[in-house]
Amino acid sequence: MSCNAKFRWFLLAPVVLALLAIVTSPVISWVGELEDAQEQVRQNPHDAGAHYHLGISYSEVGQYQNAIIHLKKTIQIKPDLAKAHHSLGFVYKNNGQYHKAIASYNKAIALKPRNAGAHYHLGISYSEVGQYQNAIIHLKKTIQIKPDLAKAHHSLGFVYKKNGQYQEAIISYKEAIRIKPDNADVILAHINELEKIIVKIRSSQPIHEPPEKQFVSIGTGFLFSKGNYIITNYHVVKNSGSILAKFVNGEKVIAKVVAKDIRGDIAVLKLTDAPPFSVAQIKLGDSSQARIGEKVFTIGYPASNLMGERPKYSEGVINAMTGLKDDPAFFQVSLPIQPGNSGGPLFNERGEVIGITTASLSSLAIDAMGAIPQNVNYAIKSSFVKNLLSTVPDLMLSKLMLANTGIVVIPSEPKNSLPDFIEQVSKNIVLIETRE
């Protein structure tokens, strides 16, 4: 190296080293924090604070699975530590496990009701799974606790927009600008878009209201407890303005959607009034214990406009433990599933619900194979149903969800018969009627 080069390096070296320090110092800091936290846990394996510190440290470096392990360990040692439930929810959310995040945030709020951060992130998590009404509730609660939190108003505007409440979205967006005008240009673009949508909607509305549409029988659902809750497919109710649950005796009760999983095609409905008679308690079984070749059956209302409005029984076997393209959320089953069967319970031989019947492959197969396969149908596994149920506040802490006990009869037992089982459980099976 020449003298000049050495001199230049002498002058530049402090600058380079300073830049390196700036770039690497956060990484080094968190690596050091992680090592310290690991050592704390080694020395104090039963200390909740040590596990919490380690869980946070893992989260900061993006090791979410390790973070979850130690935050759950924190909760095991100290179940009433609200911040541990909050942090676990945050990690689940960052890892895309929104249903688990929702359950954790709800627990954090139960322990600390005025936790604005938990309400905010719970609202965001509900939004990610398409539960916009629940998202709105918790974002408004966030604002009630922290009125000047601009991002809460911004997020509320976004959820209102997704839910088709355009005027409310504009109000929320404007409030976000008032509190923090930094991103006004971006938010104003959203407002302009919404104002154009509102003008278009108003200009397209007819002068006279059209005749009220009639209810149409569209699918099956089932009451899974002695409460007023029904499980069905989301596609059965997704375009409905009004929903009726029609029971085997012909009586109808209005139902409302209280939870939905759009990706999983699951919806939970709540009756606005009690069922017209006493219903049994059906057990949600463990779908992970099912096996290929196992006998299954369903009860539902296939093609009710043609075949009549009495429940129909059909049976088959589990053909595969995965669905289309090996989707782990589904079983492939051989039992016939006709239009109207969607949303019905898939029973095993013990009378436990291990899935929800959903759809056949026919239309997809025609496009892909040029032929209609025989008896290729699907059911959503009960484990995914339980994940959604855990997000419904009224059910989250119920005995049903904690213990999952209760069953009508076990048809395989000598003292019971399959006809007896069908007769009893048919009271739980409802015909879903909808109107736009």
pLDDT tens-digit series, residues 110-135 = 999 999 999 999 999 998 888 899 99
Among the ranges given (102-116, 151-165, 385-399), the one the predictor scored with the smallest mean pLDDT: 385-399
Whether the CB-CB separation of 286 and 382 falls below 8 Å is answered with: yes
pLDDT band of 70, cuts 50, 70, 90: very high
Quick one: average pLDDT of 423-432? 88
CA dihedral 101→104→108→110, nearest 10 degrees, is 120
Q: How high is the pLDDT of residue 29?
A: 54
Q: Which of 385, 418, 225 is nearest to 313 (CA)?
A: 418
* Mean of pLDDT over the chain: 80
What is the sign of the dihedral through the CA atoms of 49, 51, 55 and 58? positive
Please give the structure tokens belonging to residue 396.
């989250």
Q: d(Cα 64, Cα 150) in Å, to the nearest integer?
A: 28
Q: d(Cα 358, Cα 428) in Å, to the nearest integer?
A: 18
Q: How high is the pLDDT of residue 413?
A: 58
CATH code for the domain defined by 11-203: 1.25.40.10
Whether the CB-CB separation of 97 and 64 falls below 8 Å is answered with: no
What's the pTM? Answer: 0.51
Secondary structure of residue 337 in the 3-state scheme:
coil
Quick one: average pLDDT of 177-204? 84
More confident residue, 34 or 97: 97
Q: How high is the pLDDT of residue 405?
A: 40
Q: How high is the pLDDT of residue 417?
A: 78
- Asked whether the predicted pLDDT for residue 370 surpasses 80, the reply is no
Instruction: For the chain, give every domain's residue range.
Output: 11-203, 215-436
Secondary structure of residue 300 in the 3-state scheme:
strand
CA distances from 355 to 83, 223, 399 (A): 35, 14, 21
Among the ranges given (14-18, 203-207, 224-228), the one the predictor scored with the smallest mean pLDDT: 14-18
Q: d(Cα 397, Cα 393) in Å, to the nearest integer?
A: 8
Q: For residue 434, list its beta bridge partners.
A: 216, 243
Q: d(Cα 232, Cα 210) in Å, to the nearest integer?
A: 30
CATH code for the domain defined by 215-436: 2.40.10.120
More confident residue, 37 or 179: 179
